[in-house]
Amino acid sequence: MIQDIFNEWNSVFDQSKTNVMFDMLEMNRSSAVNPSSKLSKIIDKSRNGIPISREEALYLVTLDLEELPYLLFAASAVRDEGKGNELSYSKNIFVPLTRLCRDRCAYCTFKIEPGDAELFLTEEEVLDLAEKGANLGCTELLFVLGDKPELKYKEYRDALNGIGYKTTADYLIDICKVSLNKNIFPHSNLGLSTPEELSALRESNPSMGLMLENISDRLLKKGQAHHGCADKVPKLRMQTMEYAGELRIPWTSGILVGIGETWEERIDSFYALKDLNTEYGHIQEIIIQNFSPKEGIVMEKFPPPTFVDMLKTVAISRLIFGKDMNIQIPPNLNYSSYSLYLLAGINDLGGVSPLTIDFVNPECPWPQVNSMTDEVENLGFELKERLPVYPEFINDEFIDGKVLDIISNHVDESGFVPKENS
């Protein structure tokens, strides 16, 4: 059976890449063993389109290296059934509207204090970025900002009031509306939000996002990654995503791997998001973001998740969410290995920018689109550019009518950006 799997693998993946994967796992093909009966049942179940249970997901966590190839094969096969050989990405401009934040996550370098830099980007600065991005062929204006800094910093609150706004959300809403006129689409990550704020953003944003990060309240305790973070309370983040579901907003979410969570907490986070999507059907993608240690953070000496742990996490997520979910790995956080996650079932590489850095992970440069194209084509995949909203959500149920009209001028009949524009 192991040879049958390798033969099927090699019909999809370049032989040299599978050899690289085995090298990275420090194992030889000959060391692989036949799968246990339990693993075989889980694989058969997944390939027949039946979602795996929490108990089965936790069993997959325990697989040793010798059985790991079977998990990867199952995940890639499920992905192939739903997504074929298409691997998507978007071209974006990263806009750190404000880097002030009332939270103090132990892994963050994005946050600044008043006096470190400008309190927020002005409308003119944002529109300049939007115009430059559109001229470079970018279709996504990615707004990332700190959580409710007006509640903590009087200096920021006064400055915001000085331009006519009481909240960061109100400022973002107006900025998004004018940005849309620059031929680029806002994608906002506001943080905890009210239904009214989300509804107003929906008038200009074809999609939005909020990372769950983790469903565990334990990480809020002293000494943990989310201690002192009012906006990282899991039930509040889930509530915002429920509002988005009720408002029919295409939503990006996901987990942060390696911040002190247990495997059970990681798996439970996946099932929390899956249950949410089962109820509302608005989750457009799941990002699996690996923690990256940085100088000066509280978690500076925390080890990043291993390649094997990330492979398992990605593959298990594919078997939990099934063939239709979009699963993403950030390529800049996995610069030398992102294409190998195709073996674990991803079908998206997120946003990459020809102009701006990743302000959340400034030490991690984006790969170039040309190199990404060559890398994935060598594995038999086609790299396709998308908007911040995925093709399957481009309809009048999920997108405001005005925004939908503009989108129609940016995509082909498949919902992707035409190749001549990529």
- Per-residue pLDDT tens over the stretch 96-127: 999 999 999 999 999 999 999 999 999 999 99
pLDDT of residue 249: 98
- Helical segments of 88-189, H only: 123-135, 154-162, 168-179
Annotate 173-197 with three-state secondary structure: HHHHHHHHHHCCEEEEECCCCCHHH
* Residue 153 pLDDT class (50, 70, 90 cuts): very high
Statement: residue 5 has pLDDT above 60: no
Tokens of 212: 């769950």
Q: Taking the model in full, what pTM does it have?
A: 0.94
What does the DSSP 8-state code read for residue 172? H
> How many CA atoms lie within 13 Å of 138's alpha carbon, on the beta-carbon side?
30
Question: pLDDT-based confidence at 35, cuts 50/70/90?
Answer: confident
What is the rounded average pLDDT for all residues in the chain?
92
pLDDT at 26 over 70: no
73 in a structural domain: no
Burial label, 279 (beta-carbon count in 10 A; 0-12, 13-18, 19+)? exposed
Residue 214: its pLDDT value, please?
A: 98
Average pLDDT over residues 195-214: 98
What Rg do the C-alpha atoms of the chain give, in angstroms? 21
43-75 pLDDT tens trace: 989 989 998 999 999 999 999 888 898 899 899
Residue 28 is assigned to a structural domain of this protein:
no
Residue 21 lies in a domain: no
| The pLDDT of residue 279 | 98
Range 178-201 average pLDDT: 97
Residue 169 lies in a domain: yes
pLDDT tens across 80-92, in order?
999 999 999 999 9
Per the CB < 8 A criterion, the answer to whether 239 and 253 are in contact is no
Cβ–Cβ < 8 Å for 141, 184: yes
pLDDT at 3 over 70: no
- What is the pLDDT averaged over residues 164-170? 98
pLDDT at 13: 56
Q: What is the pLDDT of residues 397-415, one digit of tens each?
A: 999 999 999 999 999 999 9
Structure tokens given for 124? 């003119």
For residue 301, give both structure tokens. 């000496």
Q: What is the mean pLDDT of residues 184-191?
A: 97
Residue 330 inside a domain? The answer is: yes
Query: CB of 88 within 8 A of CB of 346?
Result: no
Confidence band, pLDDT 50/70/90 cuts, at residue 2? very low
Percent of the chain topping pLDDT 90: 82
Residue 37 counted as domain residue: no
Q: Token digits for 376? A: 């994935």
What is the tally of structural domains in the chain?
1
Is the pLDDT confidence value at 158 over 50?
yes
Helix boundaries (H) for 25-100: 37-47, 54-61, 68-83
Q: Please, are residues 185 and 137 in contact by the beta-carbon 8 Å criterion?
A: no
Evaluate whether 329 touches 314 at the Cβ level (below 8 Å): yes
Which structure tokens are listed for 191?
């943080």
pLDDT band at residue 18 under the 50/70/90 scheme: low
- For residue 32, which amino acid is it? A
Q: Distance from CA of residue 238 to its chain's centroid?
A: 16
Q: Per-residue pLDDT for 274 more than 80?
A: yes
Task: Please tell me which residue, 290 or 26, carries the higher pLDDT value.
Answer: 290
Domain membership flag for residue 233: yes
Give, for 311, the enclosing helix (H) or strand (E): helix 307-321
Mean of the pLDDT values across residues 285-290? 98
Supply the pLDDT for residue 1. 43
Domain that holds residue 290: 86-421
Determine, yes or no, domain membership for 44: no
CATH number of the domain that residue 95 is part of: 3.20.20.70
Instruction: Give the per-residue pLDDT at 59.
Output: 98
Q: pLDDT value at position 145?
A: 96
295-324 average pLDDT score: 95
How far apart are the C-alpha atoms of 41 and 170, rounded to whole Å? 52
